[in-house]
Amino acid sequence: MSPYEIKMLLNIYVSSRWEDEYRDLWHTDTWARAVEKFEKDGLISGHRQATEKLNAYVKALCGMPLPVQVWVMPKERDNG
């Protein structure tokens, strides 16, 4: 899923009027494909409202821990 699609899904999650924010993009293929994908995946209803599946997805995103950097030593070569 692209960052653009995640942004759209977060807007859908927080606002029932999310389409107003994207009014200038309705005519683009990117917007139309994203909305079709969301409906097909069950993230928005036919009325373009958030579904329970979207609510669960956003909760999972919010619960994702931030990545951490871990330093490791490379395995020693067998010089035998």
Say how far apart CA 20 and CA 76 lie, in whole Å.
59
The amino acid present at 31, given as its one-letter code, is W
pTM higher than 0.85, yes or no? no
Each residue's pLDDT tens digit, 10-25:
988 988 777 767 666 6
Enumerate the domain spans of the chain.
3-62
pLDDT above 90 for 52:
yes
